[in-house]
Structure 1
Amino acid sequence: MSSTSHATRPRFRSLIDRFGFRHLLGTTLVLVSATILLGIAAKATGSGLACEANWPQCDAGPYNLLPASLPSFYEWIHRFVAMFAGFGIIGSAIAAWRLPSVDRRVTALVVLGMVLTPVQVALGRETVTQYTLDILSLHFWTAILIFSMFAVATVLVWESTLTAGTATGALGLGLLAVPAHVALSPTDLGLVTDYSPTVQLLQYAATLVLLASIIVATRVSQRRFDDRPLRWLLSGSAVLVLAVAYLGRRTVMTYSPALDSLYVALAVALAIAFCAGLYRTRTATARSQPSFST
């Protein structure tokens, strides 16, 4: 058989060729987000120590792999989705490392996310075997760090298709998330009287929206606008987002009127910063860069 005929045989296309690296990264980000919110649901419903405190097994079915009750199901589905998020993280890192067309910044972010994944898995195990507030907090903030890195990486691979209006839309979404975050908090200014599992889930979803919105707005503005004050404004907004996310979590864990007041004050400052960012993105001159896919 000649080498020519061998070369003309149809070849199996890789998963990345079929699906696209950008879509793989976006799907992984969705899975990471779902893992975080399901983890919040497990904590809020008191299900973190369900599955008879087994890890990674549960409390029913063959080899105790399946949940036996509703609380166990919350913990089990969190682990189940986290497994696929881990596969996505590893797959994204390998693909980014092997594909020469991938931006090196993206590669660095997703590879670091892969390095943090076993740390996060170990912390997840410790929340079951040694449940303490310190371990729980480390588990949460490591997840937020992985989410943020994959959010930045996803924006970087999609940025050629994102227009100046995307920055405005992201800031508008962030502006809506700020009062929602405060309203769903257990502070005196919160609108809820019962900090139920559903309320907790919604508040942490608002946290992810805040983080994603400032990441998108910052990166798109850097690419699409020639406006240095806007860049400084968004950098300051990013710091405020982190502060609001941190204090919002602290107000749940520690009752302190002074801490509540600081949280609300920073949330107001963040809302003002988002409004100023909206104004500047609407009035700033966009760079004449074509929007095209790579």
Structure 2
Amino acid sequence: MSTDSHTSRPVLRPLIERFGFPHLIATTLVVVAATILLGIAAKATGSGLACEANWPQCDAGPFNLFPANLPSFYEWFHRFVAMFAGFAIIGSAIASVRLPNVDRRVAALVVAGMLLTPVQVALGRETVTQYTMDILSLHFWTAVLIFVLFTVATVLVWAPQLTATHVTTALSFGAIMLPFHVALSPLVIGDITTYSPSMQMAQYGVTLGLLGSAIVAAMVGRRRFDSTRLTALLSAATALAVAVIFLGRRAVMTFNPALDSLYVAVAALLFVAFVASIALVRNAPSR
């Protein structure tokens, strides 16, 4: 009597094998960005202290797990998406460590993001139980740091497919987003209409796009071009983008005329850096 000697394979392959690590980390980045924007929506609508200031519970349904009204829904939905973002971050970190073909730099960045996640969760709890501006700022900047870590890791993973064209596209996107960032700030929009929750979400969406475009341009530009001048200018643009985001947020929170002027000046410098970089990309020797 003969037996079949071949090794059987499972019908359902592991998710990471079917989906691919590059797509996993890109999806995680998108979910992280969505979580940040939903957090902005909760703050802008005054929903941060909804759910009767319960955490992680809310204020309706079995065991108070569900929202009772619209403000509570904003806070509840932010937490709901944040939970999936946490799972995605942990899954990406585990995959980056276990998969043999993942760059160790990527693994280090993703693991750092995972280690920051419980800190971010704790800060999220504190925004509900204490709600001070210092805690709120720490919660925001920790989220931005996680976003930056995953943006850099995603660019490293996708680097072989990114070309000089992507550098120009990222710079052009940043140059387009920058005027919107200024226009949507209270400095400009306040003279036209109120700085509404939808305006705040739009500005912070532009904020993430602006920061992401600067990072992509700098990293891919360094990889694809042999030009010290261009590399230095792209690095300067990234630093200016961070400064614009920081000053823009401070201007929103403090309404300081001096900060407003500095914010506009740095934004103008960043726009010049974007345009100058586009011009240099056209003539820089590529690898």
Interval of TM-score (by shorter of Structure 1 and Structure 2)? over 0.9
Match in the other structure for 1:279:
279
Match in the other structure for 2:216:
216
Are residue 258 (structure 1) and residue 265 (structure 2) matched? Answer: no
For 1:235 and 1:222, how far apart are their aligned partners in 2? 9
AA in 2 matched with 1:144 = V
Closer/same/farther in 2, CA of residues 225 and 190 from structure 1, 3 Å limit: farther
For 1:29 and 1:68, how far apart are their aligned partners in 2? 30
For 2:165 and 2:285, how far apart are their aligned partners in 1? 12
Are the counterparts in 2 of residues 185 and 192 from structure 1 also a CA contact under 8 Å?
Answer: no
Match in the other structure for 1:122:
122
Other structure's SS at 2:186 match: coil
Other structure's SS at 1:56 match: coil
Are residue 136 (structure 1) and residue 140 (structure 2) matched? Answer: no
CA shift digits 1:85-126 (9 cap, x unpaired): 000000000000001100000000000000000000000000
AA in 2 matched with 1:35 = T
Runs of 4+ in 1 over 6 A off after TM superposition: 1-4
Are the counterparts in 2 of residues 167 and 216 from structure 1 also a CA contact under 8 Å?
Answer: yes
Listed as ranges, the gaps of 5+ residues in structure 1 are 288-294
CA shift digits 1:38-76 (9 cap, x unpaired): 000000000000001000001111111111111001001
Q: CA deviation at 1:193?
A: 2.8
Match in the other structure for 1:290:
none
Other structure's SS at 1:131 match: coil
Match in the other structure for 2:226:
226
Are the counterparts in 1 of residues 189 and 195 from structure 2 also a CA contact under 8 Å?
Answer: no
Q: CA deviation at 1:282?
A: 1.8
Aligned residues: 286
What TM-score results when the alignment is normalised by the length of structure 2?
A: 0.97
AA in 2 matched with 1:9 = S
Match in the other structure for 2:173:
173
Q: CA deviation at 1:4?
A: 7.2
Match in the other structure for 1:199:
199
Farther off after superposition, 189-198 or 220-229:
189-198
Other structure's SS at 1:102 match: coil
Q: CA RMSD in A?
A: 1.5
AA in 2 matched with 1:106 = V
Other structure's SS at 1:187 match: helix
Identical aligned pairs, as a percentage? 67
Listed as ranges, the gaps of 5+ residues in structure 2 are none
For 1:100 and 1:154, how far apart are their aligned partners in 2? 17
For 1:247 and 1:95, how far apart are their aligned partners in 2? 36
Other structure's SS at 2:150 match: helix
AA in 2 matched with 1:40 = I
Q: CA deviation at 1:190?
A: 6.3
For 1:137 and 1:22, how far apart are their aligned partners in 2? 31
Q: CA deviation at 1:285?
A: 2.1
Q: CA deviation at 1:13?
A: 1.8
For 2:227 and 2:155, how far apart are their aligned partners in 1? 20
Other structure's SS at 2:208 match: helix
